[in-house]
Structure 1
Amino acid sequence: MLARRMSLFGSSGTAAARAAANAAADAGMEIVDLTAGEIWSDLAPTIRDGAIEAIQQGLNRYTDTIGLMELREALARKVSVETGQLWRADELAVTNGAKQALFNVAMTLINPGDQVIIPAPYWTTFPAQVQIAGGSPVHIDTRRNGYVPRIDDIQRVITPMTRAIVVNTPANPSGAVYDAETLSGIAQLAMDRDLWIIFDECYGPFTYDGHRHHRVVSLAPEVRARTVIVNAFSKSLALTGWRIGYLAAPKELITAVKAIQSHTTSNPNVVAQHAVLHHLREGDGAFEARLKGQLTAARQAGLTALSELRRVPMPVAQGGFYFYLDLSGLLRPTLANGHARTADDIVAALLAQAGVAGVSGTAFGDPMGLRLSYGIPPEQLEPGLERVVSVLNAWNRRNRRSNQKRGAIDP
């Protein structure tokens, strides 16, 4: 009945986790929801004022397919400052969030049969969109290298069919920040092997403990002709529901993006466009600094709570706003009815026993991982993580007793 492509992927794993949390809450449970990829925050005053002004002016007509020219010019100035290179408005496209920017890139760059390298664990949408375009995701495991890919591992999977590599730094879900040496190595590979780099930097403003967000085109300007920068205001301004993203790329690619966007969504929401434009013109950085301070404090409080974990190492948490737990020390020895357990089992236990919702690493290609967001209200974060610690440490005790008795576990 459905198109064959629908057999290649299902709904977003993160969306499914949110739905499970909402269903539990609707059933009367008190839930601490650590699933969401968003920051709990009020609007930036400049965003609110820009939106109100647009509404009062009756701005309710179509804009250019890829966004207001004034907004694209402002974004070109922003990207120029961030990369240290001059960008023009015709190298920018405004989209309905970063997800549409990535979809546009997949549809304009990837031919059926092309391979796209995606380091794992990965944001669930990366491989899904490659498959929609008819391509094949090729994953490389980064867990043994602090969730940053090794250049040798990337080289090993490149074939004549390889078209692109996805670089997501700071990374969702792992929180890893790619170092300059790794990014320079990826840039050199792209130039040597005629590859595109799809550079997703949506979490770029949020790095911690001396880690720095590097932009690949700044480190290797010569790779700019083969790079697409994808970004959004969903994270940096806590505007997930407003759906304003953008991409920066060579002019020829932007022209192709405009053509495909004209047949999908057309222009992004006009009020949201004007709100972001007003912020880019009038914002003084105070809101962004407050948001960064909020996340920095939440991260520190969360790490303190998680320091009580046994046999689960402390998360990387170098950037973004997720704690990504490696559960392999708990799961590898465990069986249930003859079947190996995965993070899905722990996620189910957390929801049922502690009223805490997290996202299983199976959504990210890693059955041993668990993603917990610390973008939630601070008064919920510490109690929620304390419940996580309690369940995981209890799982650990049962695991040891069970293994001593019969080599299996049934928590």
Structure 2
Amino acid sequence: MTRLSRRTARVTPMALAALLPAARESGAIDLALGIPQGRPTQSAVEAAVAALRSGGNQYADPAGLPALRRSLAAELSRVRGVPVDAEHEITISAGATEGLLVALIAATDPGDEVLVPQPFFENHPGVVELAGAVPRFVPLTGDAWRLDGAALEAAVTPRTRAVLLNNPHNPTGRVFDRTEFDALTAVCERHDLTLITDEVYDRFVYDGHRHLSPVGAVPALRHRSVVVGSLSKTRAMSGWRLGYCLAPPALTAALRRVHERTTLGAPHPLQHGAVALGPTEEASVATARALFQDRRDLVCEALRRAGCAVRTPQGGWFGLAGTAALARDSRELARRLVEHAGVLVAPGASFFAPPEAGDDWVRIALVRDHAQVRAGLDRIAAHLTRTPIPPRS
């Protein structure tokens, strides 16, 4: 057998992946994946097609089309309330996932440790390991899933170099507050850590909560932070694979050297399409946010009626449902829901290390079509009523 690298061997398959073939075969309602509604504007599609037809098929500036960086800088400056330098602080990446990998390679050496709050977005540990670093998991505490400064401090070792934080948080829906950021700032400053924030859901915060970021709301962290964002969520264009890294000039220079040796650059014609989008209209974001908040309330109410323990998500596109009262193992529950109820949910094993720590949870997407969400929830409730799964003894 061909020898695999240690870093590749450590990257485990997602628990959800095992359910996808059965879900596709049965036509199950998908309440697992965060696929945005809608599509890019026709002007964006036409601009991308025009770029293809006019010869924009070769390499672009690896840092990203200047016009796209300027457009993003203007929007980020407006939203975050601080100046953002398009030339020296923004790099266009091939999606947020590549942006995270680039940031981790730039900030860590092989064997260094990265603090990762748990539960975590399922891609985060694998990206850390592919960069050659070691994820060190820090549990979010209590029913509210809080980021605890003492837990962060206790996890730091002489090998710790960075923190990887998802805010708003996937899968819990937490939006971390000022007290939590103050504690995080103290730990980063005390141990000279780089903060890498995955902020792809930054515009989707509910109930008056405020999204805090090193760029804008937490200036003490800006000089040591890489903010990773995406056009996928606000622009409904996840398949275009356009993300960005926002970092201070010295960090940006390092990020670009890595980026040039991973993808070299994001797709040239699609960047032209993104330029044609222009600035995101706040009214359209507000409309989507209100729709998703309404859908969130529908999901939480239905899951509670079905016997799940649910903490209402404060932001993002997902929520965790506690299934300890319903099932011995959330992976078994997810399998039964696919096969017998025709609904796909993500088992909690994808978001915890070891996977068994997620046995009491499933993740539900909040942003699918309203009729699809309601039908899926009705099927879940009907199945649990008809065929209850014995809880753990």
TM-score (norm 2): 0.91
Q: Which of these residues, 198, 210, 213, is aligned with residue 212 of structure 1? A: 210
What residue is the counterpart of 1:41 in the other structure? 38
Q: Equivalent residue for 1:377? A: 369
Instruction: Report what 2:263 is aligned to.
Output: 265
Choose from 67, 70, 83 the match for 1:73.
70
The structure 2 residue matched to 1:166, chosen from 164, 168, 190, is 164
Q: Are the aligned partners of 1:167 and 1:197 in contact in 2 as well (CA < 8 Å)?
A: yes
Percent of pairs with identical residues = 28
Deviation (angstroms), 1:389: 2.6
Q: 1:289 and 1:48 mapped to 2: Cα distance?
A: 23
1:313 aligns with 2:309: yes
Match of 1:254 in 2: 252
Matched, 1:87 2:84: yes
* CA contact 2:117–2:147 (8 Å) conserved in 1: yes
CA distance in 2, matches of 1:45, 1:303: 35
Q: Tell me which residue corresponds to 1:137.
A: 135
Q: What residue number does 2:230 align with?
A: 232
Matched, 1:344 2:335: no
Name which of 330, 354, 365 aligns with 2:326.
Answer: 330
Instruction: Answer with 360-369 or 40-49: which moved more.
Output: 40-49
Distance 1:132 1:250 in 2: 24
One-letter code of the match for 2:109? N
More displaced, 96-105 or 352-361? 352-361
Whether 1:399 and 2:373 are equivalent positions in the alignment is: no
Matched to 2:184, the amino acid is I
Larger deviation, residues 74-83 vs 366-375: 74-83
1:8 match? 10
Distance in 2 (CA, whole Å) between partners of 1:117 and 1:61 is 39
Give the Å deviation of 1:319.
0.9
Residue 24 of structure 1 aligns with which residue? 23
Q: Compute the displacement of 1:266 (Å).
A: 1.3
Q: Deviations over 1:276-332 (max 9, x none)?
A: 222235x5334333432332332233233223122x22233211121311223334x
Aligned residue among 341, 348, 355 for 1:361: 348
Distance (whole Å) between structure 1 residues aligned to residue 55 and residue 288 of structure 2: 31
Tell me if structure 2 keeps the 8 A contact 1:180–1:219.
no
In the alignment, what sits opposite 2:152? 154
User: How many residues end up aligned between the 2 structures?
Assistant: 385
1:49 shift after superposition: 4.3
Letter in 2 for 1:226: R
Deviation of 1:75 after TM superposition, in Å, equals 1.8
Which whole-Å CA distance do the structure 2 matches of 1:345 and 1:108 have between them?
Answer: 40
Give, as a single letter, the amino acid of the residue that structure 2 aligns with 1:355. G
Aligned with 1:219: secondary structure?
A: coil
Query: How much is the aligned-residue C-alpha RMSD, in angstroms?
Result: 2.2
Cα 1:52–1:297 change in 2 (3 A) is farther
**Local SS of the residue matching 1:105:** helix
Task: Supply the distance in 1 between the matched residues of 2:198 and 2:11 (Cα, whole angstroms).
Answer: 21
Name the SS of the counterpart of 1:7 in structure 2: helix
**Residue type matched to 1:135 in 2?**
A
Structure 2: gaps spanning 5 or more residues = 353-357
Aligned partner of 2:301 among 294, 299, 304: 304
Task: Tell me which moved more, 55-64 or 197-206.
Answer: 55-64
Q: Hey, what's the Cα distance between the residues in 1 that align with 2:81 and 2:141?
A: 32
Contact 2:28 2:344 in 1 (8 A): yes
CA distance in structure 1 between the partners assigned to 2:144 and 2:44 by the alignment: 37
- CA distance in 1 between partners of 2:205 and 2:148 (Å): 21
Structure 1 residues 393 and 146, CA, compared in 2 at 3 Å: closer, same or farther?
farther
> Structure 1 residues 295 and 280 mapped into 2: Cα distance closer, same or farther (>3 Å)?
same
Corresponding residue for residue 355 of structure 2: none
Question: Separation in 1 of the partners of 2:141 and 2:148?
Answer: 11
Q: Aligned partners of 1:124, 1:79: CA distance in 2, in Å?
A: 27
Q: Is the 8 A contact 1:33 1:357 kept in 2?
A: yes
Note the C-alpha offset of 1:22: 4.4
Q: How far apart, in 2, do the equivalents of 1:159 and 1:393 lie?
A: 48
Partners of 1:304 and 1:82 lie apart in 2 by 32
Q: Relative to structure 1, is the Cα distance of residues 210 and 287 closer, same or farther in structure 2, using a 3 angstrom cutoff?
A: closer
The residue type paired with residue 8 of structure 1 is R
Measure how far apart 1:111 and its partner are: 1.0
1:294 is the counterpart of 2:281: no
Q: 2:108 maps to what in 1?
A: 110
Instruction: Give how far 1:143 is off.
Output: 5.0
Q: State the Cα distance separating 1:241 from its structure 2 match.
A: 0.5
Could you tell me which residue of structure 2 aligns to residue 195 of structure 1? 193
For 2:337, the aligned partner's letter is L
Alpha-carbon distance between aligned partners in 1 of 2:247 and 2:208, rounded to the nearest angstrom: 29
